């Protein structure tokens, strides 16, 4: 394997794949479309889980777990929902293997065919609403504010590590409410929870918006989303929150009695983010040297690399470094002392940059003599010196600055790639060039949206929540438009 990563400008897809593998985030499994998330990658995912889970709990939600297998019949209860997922479901048909009569290995035992086939969940609305029917009798049982952390399977045509895998990890919130207003408020609240997390923890700026009917979740009345823009100018849907109306309540016959003793159907939401966020992290902050992880998410915030020529020096530096790591720990900073004697400093520098550790401290004889450490920040790749006694106080401030700076850099790039376009030829040229969020007028019809998609591969990512009324003419048809929507090519 070559020492340098493929450069983004040379081959963006190749850069991405190499980075995922070289930074030890994940690797392919023998099964097409499936991936092994390695400890370092999983540690980042655990950070995402930890932060989100705290926010879910803070907004009154509780966790539960529903099964992986769903009876096939459940999928057909909500018509739009079937259409949306039927094409990509894994199906369990048998429950036993046997030795092949010809000794060639194991085969499926034909005797062990299931009476009703089982679907491996592509999402859990159906199984959950089946149970909500039993859980909900009266308005006193509402709302139900529930989340689950789970894996789901969608048999994708073309998988990509983290961005689109056959099996992926996610969380799915499923709530039940007495009124439409309450459910809608819930869906909007969770979108804001996502936006807050992605912007302030992951340092990725997002556009909050609502999907057009074409792009809406199968079975939803309204799909809210946050859309991020990757460095190559393509959009990535980072999270969705759905107002499901009474569709699932009606499909699974979930009714409750109001205070006035009237029977009503329950109102629902669902919302989710997945390991795809890992892809967003990589493609927002990564560079030609590797990953760059925002401090609030980094499994290791600070790595200390020693430099020495002999055992005496090594021992002296070790003593200072361990003391420093301890002080940083007390200051709430996760620090690691890289005392591996089998690797030289230059190798370690490159390796920790590849892995995206936000701050590196270097401690050598020269530094000890001056009672200081060299401080390197991964985001700007700048070096400076800080006195050893000041580090415990300075590092938390520095990490905070890295966090802010990473967001600023990402936001400036996003803003630079967000442009108003009024000419269809220019619209197409931009998509074929640097891409980005193209703010353009649209006549509001699905036909126009579909035609633009066919001709340019761009979709309406969303109608922004901060939509401004601005009379104009549709970029394709020239028909009247009330304002601009966000177009982009997407992952």
Per CB under 7 A, the list member of 101, 309, 425, 471 interacting with RNA is: 309
Position 264 contacts RNA (CB under 7 A) = no
Q: Which of residues 74-113 bind RNA (CB under 7 A)?
A: 87-88
For residues 125 to 154, the per-residue mask of contacts with RNA, x marking binding by CB under 7 A and - elsewhere, is -----------------------------x
Out of 32, 113, 137, 479, the only residue in the binding site for RNA (CB under 7 A) is 32
Contact region for RNA (CB under 7 A) — 42-50, 155-163, 249-257, 387-395? Answer: 155-163
By CB under 7 A, name the one of 58, 158, 425, 471 that touches RNA.
Answer: 158
Nearer to RNA, 171 or 403 (CB): 171
Smallest gap from Cβ 274 to RNA, in A, equals: 4
85, two tokens: 């997922």
- The span of 110-118, 177-185, 366-374, 465-473 binding RNA (CB under 7 A) equals 366-374
Shortest separation between residue 2's beta carbon and RNA, angstroms: 7
In the list 346, 387, 433, 480, the residue contacting RNA (rule: CB under 7 A) is: 346
CA pair distance 331, 305, nearest whole angstrom: 19
Task: Give yes or no for residue 319 binding RNA (CB under 7 A).
Answer: no
Q: Which stretch binds RNA (CB under 7 A): 24-32, 46-54, 124-132, 393-401?
A: 24-32
Work out how close the CB of 45 gets to RNA at its nearest, in angstroms, rounded to a whole number.
12
Q: Which of 43, 327, 364, 439 binds RNA (CB under 7 A)?
A: 364
Q: Is 347 in the site for RNA (CB under 7 A)?
A: yes
Candidates 6, 17, 405, 428; binder of RNA (CB under 7 A) is 17
237 binds RNA (CB under 7 A): yes
Among 241, 275, 403, 481, which residue interacts with RNA (rule: CB under 7 A)?
A: 275
Least separation in angstroms between residue 29's CB and RNA is 9
Q: Which two tokens stand for residue 55?
A: 């926010």
In the bound state with RNA, the residue whose beta carbon lies nearer, of 95 and 383, is 383
The alpha carbon torsion through 41, 47, 49, 51 (nearest 10 deg) reads -160
Note whether 247 binds RNA by CB under 7 A.
no
Q: Which of residues 278-307 bind RNA (CB under 7 A)?
A: 289, 307
Which of 126, 274, 301, 403 contacts RNA by CB under 7 A?
274
Give the nearer residue to RNA in terms of CB position, either 133 or 453: 453
In angstroms, the CA 362 to CA 164 distance is: 38
CB of 154 to RNA, least distance (A): 5
Closest CA to 146 of 127, 121, 173, 126: 173
Size of the site for RNA (CB under 7 A): 65
Among 350, 386, 409, 465, binds RNA (CB under 7 A): 350
Residue ranges in contact with RNA by CB under 7 A: 1-5, 13, 17, 22, 28, 30-33, 87-88, 154, 156-161, 163-166, 168, 170, 217, 237, 240, 272, 274-276, 289, 307-310, 341-342, 344-347, 349-351, 353-354, 362-367, 374, 376, 381, 383, 453, 457, 490-491
């Amino acid at each position: 394997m070559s020492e340098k990563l493929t450069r983004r400008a040379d081959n963006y897809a190749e850069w991405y794949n190499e980075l995922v593998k070289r930074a030890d985030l994940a690797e392919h499994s023998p099964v097409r479309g499936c991936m092994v998330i390695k400890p370092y990658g999983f540690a980042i995912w655990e950070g995402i889980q930890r932060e989100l889970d705290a926010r879910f709990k803070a907004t009154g939600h509780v966790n539960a777990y529903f099964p992986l297998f769903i009876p096939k019949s459940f999928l057909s209860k909500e018509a739009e929902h079937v259409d949306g997922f039927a094409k990509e479901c894994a199906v369990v048909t048998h429950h036993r293997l046997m030795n092949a009569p010809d000794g060639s290995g194991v085969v499926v035992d034909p005797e062990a065919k299931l009476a009703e086939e089982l679907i491996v969940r592509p999402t859990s609305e159906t199984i959950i609403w089946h149970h909500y029917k039993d859980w909900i009798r009266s308005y006193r049982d509402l709302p139900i504010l529930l989340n689950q952390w789970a894996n789901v399977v969608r048999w994708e045509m073309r998988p990509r590590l983290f961005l689109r895998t056959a099996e992926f990890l996610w969380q799915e919130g499923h709530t039940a409410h007495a009124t439409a207003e309450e459910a809608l408020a819930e869906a909007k609240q969770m979108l804001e929870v996502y936006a807050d997390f992605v912007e302030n923890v992951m340092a990725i700026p997002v556009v909050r918006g609502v999907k057009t009917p074409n792009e809406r979740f199968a079975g939803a009345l309204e799909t809210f989303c946050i859309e991020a823009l990757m460095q190559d100018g393509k959009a990535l849907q980072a999270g969705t929150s759905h107002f499901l109306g009474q569709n699932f309540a009606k499909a699974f016959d979930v009714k409750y009695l109001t205070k006035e003793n009237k029977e009503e159907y329950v109102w629902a939401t669902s919302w989710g983010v997945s390991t795809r966020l890992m892809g967003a992290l990589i493609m927002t902050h990564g560079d030609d040297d590797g990953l760059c992880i925002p401090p609030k998410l980094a499994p290791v915030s600070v790595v200390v690399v020693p430099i020495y020529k002999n055992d005496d020096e090594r021992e002296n530096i070790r003593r200072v470094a361990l003391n420093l790591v301890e002080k940083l720990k007390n200051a709430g900073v996760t620090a690691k002392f890289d005392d591996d004697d089998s690797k030289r400093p230059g190798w370690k520098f490159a390796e920790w940059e590849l892995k995206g550790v936000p701050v590196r401290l270097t401690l050598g004889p020269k530094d000890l003599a001056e009672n200081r450490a060299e401080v390197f920040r991964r985001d700007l790749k700048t070096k400076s010196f800080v006195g050893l006694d000041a580090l415990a106080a300075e590092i938390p401030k520095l990490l905070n600055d890295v966090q802010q700076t990473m967001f600023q850099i990402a936001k400036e790039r996003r803003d630079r790639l967000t442009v108003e376009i009024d000419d269809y030829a220019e619209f197409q040229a931009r998509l074929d060039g640097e891409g980005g969020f193209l703010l353009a007028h649209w006549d509001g019809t699905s036909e126009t949206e579909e035609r633009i998609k066919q001709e340019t591969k761009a979709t309406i990512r969303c109608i922004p929540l901060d939509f401004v009324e601005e009379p104009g003419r549709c970029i394709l048809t020239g028909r009247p438009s009330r304002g601009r929507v966000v177009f982009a090519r997407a992952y």
